[in-house]
Structure 1
Amino acid sequence: MSGQDRPQGNRRGQGPERRRNAAGRERNRGGERSFSQSVPAQRTRKADPARLVAFEVLRAVDADDAYANLVLPVKIRQHRLDKRDAGFATELTYGALRGLGTYDAILARCVDRPLAELDPAVLDALRLGVHQLLAMRVPAHAALDQTVGLARVVIGAGPGALVNAVLRKVSAKELAGWTEELTAGQKDPVAAAAVMHSHPEWIVRAMRQSLVGHGRSVGEIEDLLAADNAAPVVNLVALPGLGTLDEAIQAGAEPGSLVQDSALFSGGDVGRLESVRTGTTRVQDAGSQLVARALAEAQTLTSGPERWLDLCAGPGGKAALLAALAAKKSATLLANEPAEHRAELVRQSLRPVDREVWEVRTGDGRDLGQLQPEGFDRILVDAPCTGLGALRRRPESRWRRKPSDVAQLAPLQRELLDSALAAVKPGGLVAYVTCSPHPAETTAVVTDALRRHPDIELLDSASALDAVSLSGNLQAGHAQTEGSTAQLWPHIHGTDAMFLGLLRKKTSDNPAGNAK
């Protein structure tokens, strides 16, 4: 078209030219249009960094069997999220993982095909959208717009349209309305609780059995499952004689109410604390702190300089606390870990402690009873277990574990405890510990050991915990035939569900035993 053929108003700043946007596209003649958020093609076409971080973590968990607590901090740093966005990404990531069971049940009502036929990336995007719509303080339009934008950028336009359509169906009800619909007519309380609290049915049954097995009421199951879904506060411990909580307190942490030298931190990335970076202050659940201190402070009937053993030391959290406590008592610690890469993590954890105090051994802990019989005064057996007591901190675990895992781990747990009982001196102590309340991993293992080892007695484990707690009355004990075991609970103590069975090898001058 020649110059004279152009409309006169086509000169700069006049006429139709003014109806073009910055990209050169012609605008609606009526002025710039306000797009409806119901039109997928006109939604945002960018991925919000915080939501992108959550999406990438969910993909790593699903595709690579990664652990969210390890991947999330790395992704936050990679995307350079500020404190506010990091907090949003954390809540979105863990919330979507915890709620996965309930959210998938809702999505199954809103998708026109089995969820297994969806692209896994699309399903993860939908889960993030559902959590924002039903469980976060995110306006519905923002949850829809941002989730569709995320799907468009990282998956494609077609999946973006699907995400939009499905989430619109989800947004028609609030969470209470969906759970009411999903459980309507359900007569099985276990199945109903599984949907309401987003746990596999077998874990709900296991938790009910665990409550009863440790002397509590099955009526606590709703509170226990709800506690599993509550975002846990970061627990800190200052290694005795090495670290302080001053920096953490100045950053907003509150002193812990359960155990000395502990604090509760909710100020964002704990890795920014210098004391955490140097290892003199560590992230460690208060339940783990309590069982380690209970072993360190309980009375032995041995004499002379003490040797301590952490039989299953990786990745090294309890080993670091034990080593610091051992240093104060002029004792030494051997930290044993069968996997070399985890043994290196143990060494890193122990570095703040005087090198003369500790040694790391890489080997099978089941061998130490034969290699060093009656060689240790105190032994911690933090046995490999299902981790059912830490589901609030590792929400992906509830979807990975299977009922068969309990039975498969049982022989290893018994063999490790047998090794420790052979390795402990007469009058010495063995703390059998699991981060699981399941009776098959806790009381059954202790009872079996007592039956097969007549030279072993069960002490009052509950009193040992009380002695190192700030309250002095945790009410965590359950009487056994002799002595007691102790079980901590998320819904009662605010800790992981740590179990402690404190055992002592009888001495020749006390063959009958004394459970005091």
Structure 2
Amino acid sequence: MSRQKRRAVDPARLAAFEVLKAVRVDDGYTNLLLPAVLARHGLTGRDAAFTTELASGTIRRQGTYDAVLAACIDRPLRKVEAKVLDALRLGAHQLLAMRVPTHAAIDTTVTLVRNQVNQGAAGFSNAVLRKVAARDLEAWLADVAPDDLAVAHSHPAWVVDELRRALGDRAGELPALLAADNDPPRVTLVARPGLAAREELPGTPTRYSPYGVVLDGGDPAGVAAVAEGRAGVQDEGSQLVALALASSPVEGRDERWIDLCAGPGGKASLLAALAAEHGARLTGVELHHHRARLVARAAAAGGGLAGVVRADATRAPFADASADRILLDAPCTGLGALRRRPEARWRRRPADVIALVGLQRALLAEAVRVLRPGGALLYATCSPVLAETADVVTATLAEHPDVRLEDVAGHLPAVPDAEGPLPGTVQLWPHRHGTDAMFLALLRKA
């Protein structure tokens, strides 16, 4: 391929195309792939923002765009070459959801296909995108998804069903929740107590966390406190998880805190700083080597980190009844963080819920074993799915009659309208609170 052809492709669109390919082929995560891709293409400022929105937005709205493209193509989408389909989705997002002139969206996409595939595929893409451009998104939705929330809001149907069940008697909020899942999340920073003050971070103070700010713009790595490890990037919902555990009273000794699933270290970093203020030390547990290193690096700035143990948390290397406070932020489907991880909605399957619930119950049983009487155990998931939240907690309470469920909402008094599926639990929502859909349950061993 000649250098002249390569130069003809817009770098921002080529970068977005590369992200889509890596997500599809390598099971990559959009937010983790973007920094390296942007750096490789030398994209900064507005070009970097354009690429980020193009890649992330396309993946978020993939279900909607596939329905539109299917109406414009005379064969099943599965028979369209994957690279061509990636480019068509990028083109559809520019035409239907971005302020890109029609001729620019079509011309740059066709050039991209010509460069990355061949001339024949470029002609095909040109014809398809001209059909897409004939209507706006509202008109297309009225045609391809008049009464289908899954297509209109680009969620798999089974995910829509699970979210409807999780909303319970407020299922009328479902369209607002699905729409919030498609809103790009703003960058939120956390000032780690004892290391940084919120006032030194640029941005608007968060509504509920006393340590957070919503960044007004720019690269968070350019903030001095972040670069020095005294602050970090963390969703407000995750900040509230750490705050809820740290503010829950314990009876007697309060020295040994454990984060049973600590990687990659965001909650552990805040929890370690809070532990230091209590005169306690936090031990992180992480199975995977690279994630354990991330935890150690993220939480090192404080003085509250006792260390990171590489271990399987279902067989934690701690004695019975030896921990004063335990955080179990359990592995889950991640369906509460679809704003942040747009590819998760397409990657997860109903069978994943069954497998994860088994793991969650095993982890929670182990946490109960390690928790001492009078101590506090916070079970959290970044998923509102009832099988992963209320059902796991209910099963644990049935299996452990010495464990009781306590009111965690009382330790987050500033957060309104967050009643969880069990009395005393908390369920945060993107459309109500502007956070990931974190679930919190506080358990105590009598």
TM-score by length of 2: 0.96
1:127 maps to 2:89 = yes
Backbone CA RMSD of aligned residues: 1.6
Listed one character per residue, the Cα deviations across residues 82-128 of structure 1 (whole Å, up to 9, x for unaligned) are 20111111111111001000101111111222111111111110000
Post-superposition offset of 1:243 = 2.2
Q: How does 1:35-54 map to 2 (within 5 A)?
A: 46-54=8-16
Q: Find the structure with the greater CA-based Rg.
A: 1
AA matched with 2:176: D
**Matched residue type, 2:389:** T
Q: How much does 1:408 deviate?
A: 0.9
Q: Deviation per CA, 1:32-53: give whole Å up to 9, x if none.
A: xxxxxxxxxxx99711111111
- Counterpart of 2:213 (choices 253, 259, 263) is 263
Post-superposition offset of 1:504: 0.7
Q: Find the counterpart in structure 2 of residue 207 from structure 1.
A: 163
Tell me the amino acid that sits aligned with residue 458 of structure 1.
L
The CA deviation string for residues 407-460 of structure 1, in whole angstroms up to 9 with x for no partner, is 111111011001111101110010000000000000111111111111111111
Q: C-alpha displacement at 1:246, in angstroms?
A: 5.0
Aligned mate of 1:240, from 193, 212, 215: 193
Q: Work out the CA distance in 1 between the residues paired with 2:307 and 2:37.
A: 34
Check conservation: 2:330, 2:379, Cα contact below 8 A.
yes
Shift of 1:266: 3.9
321 and 54 in structure 1: CA distance in 2 versus 1, 3 angstrom threshold: same
Q: How does 1:90-239 map to 2 (within 5 A)?
A: 90-184=52-146, 192-212=148-168, 216-239=169-192
Pairing partner for 2:429 from 468, 489, 506: 489
Q: Would you say the 8 A contact 1:426–1:505 is kept in 2?
A: yes
Residue number in structure 1 paired with 2:418: 476
Structure 1 residue 155 displacement after superposition: 2.2
Separation in structure 2 between the aligned mates of residue 104 and residue 165 of structure 1, nearest angstrom: 16
TM alignment of 1:15-414, pairs within 5 A: 46-184=8-146, 192-212=148-168, 216-245=169-198, 248-249=201-202, 253-301=203-251, 303-354=252-303, 357-368=305-316, 371-414=318-361
* Aligned mates of 2:295, 2:6 — CA distance in 1: 46
Q: Deviations over 1:54-89 (max 9, x none)?
A: 111001001111000000011111111120111111
Moved more, 485-494 or 109-118: 109-118
AA paired with 2:205? P
Q: Which runs of 5+ in 2 are unaligned?
A: none
Residue 6 of structure 2 contacts residue 115 of structure 2 at CA under 8 Å; is this kept in 1?
no
Partner in structure 2 of residue 5 of structure 1: none
Q: Is the 8 A contact 1:98 1:396 kept in 2?
A: yes
SS of the equivalent of 1:413 reads: helix
Asked if the contact 2:326–2:377 (Cα under 8 Å) also holds between the matched residues in 1, the reply is yes
Question: 1:234 corresponds to which letter in structure 2?
Answer: V
* CA distance in 2: counterparts of 1:364 and 1:308, whole angstroms: 17
Structure 1 residues 44 and 139, CA gap change in structure 2 (3 angstroms): farther
Report SS of the residue matched to 1:343.
Answer: helix
Q: Distance in 2 between matches of 1:122 and 1:328?
A: 55
In the other structure, the counterpart of 1:429 is 376
Q: Which moved more, 1:78-87 or 1:428-437?
A: 78-87
Deviations 1:121-154 (A, max 9, x none): 1111000000000001111111111111222222
Aligned positions of 1:457-476 closer than 5 A: 457-466=404-413, 472-476=414-418
Alignment deviations for residues 316-363 of structure 1 (CA, whole Å, 9 cap, x no partner): 110000000001111011100111121111111112122x64210000
Alignment CA distance shift 1:45-1:346 (3 Å): closer
| Aligned-partner Cα distance in 2 for 1:449–1:146 | 55
**C-alpha distance in 2 between matches for 1:160 and 1:272:** 40
Distance 1:99 1:497 in 2: 19
Which amino acid counterpart does residue 340 of structure 1 have in structure 2?
A: H
Aligned AA for 1:292? A
Alignment partners' CA distance in 2, 1:343 and 1:357: 13
Cα distance between partner residues in 1 of 2:271 and 2:205: 21
Distance 1:85 1:364 in 2: 42
Q: Deviations over 1:252-307 (max 9, x none)?
A: x2221221110111413322323222221111110010011110011111x23410
Provide the rounded CA distance (Å) in 2 between the counterparts of 1:121 and 1:166.
Answer: 15
For 2:297 and 2:305, the matched residues in 1 are separated by: 14
5+ residue gaps in structure 1? 1-42, 187-191, 467-471, 507-516
Residues 429 and 502 of structure 1 are in contact (CA less than 8 Å); yes or no, is this contact kept in structure 2? yes
Q: Map 1:5-16; keep pairs closer than 5 Å.
A: none
Name the SS of the counterpart of 1:433 in structure 2.
strand
State the AA in 1 paired with 2:119: A
Could you tell which deviates more after superposition, 43-52 or 285-294? 43-52
- CA distance in structure 2 between the aligned counterparts of 1:462 and 1:345, rounded to whole angstroms: 30
CA distance in structure 2 between the partners assigned to 1:156 and 1:422 by the alignment: 61
**Where has structure 1 moved over 4 Å in runs of 4 or more?**
none
Q: Secondary structure at the match of 1:380?
A: strand
TM, length-normalised to structure 1:
0.83
Contact 2:208–2:415 (CA under 8 A) maintained in structure 1: no
Rounded Cα–Cα distance in structure 2 between residues aligned with 1:334 and 1:106: 50
Residues 162-192 of structure 1 show CA distances to partners (whole Å, capped at 9, x for unaligned) of 11111001001110111100124x5xxxxx0
Partner of residue 440 from structure 1, selected from 382, 387, 391 = 387
State, as a whole percentage, how many aligned pairs show the same letter: 52
| Aligned counterparts of 1:46 and 1:163: Cα–Cα separation in 2 | 17
Distance 2:39 2:80 in 1: 30
Decide whether aligned partners of structure 1 residues 305 and 441 sit closer, same or farther in structure 2, where only a CA change above 3 A counts.
closer
Counterpart position of 2:443: 503
Contact 1:86 1:268 (8 Å CA) reproduced: no
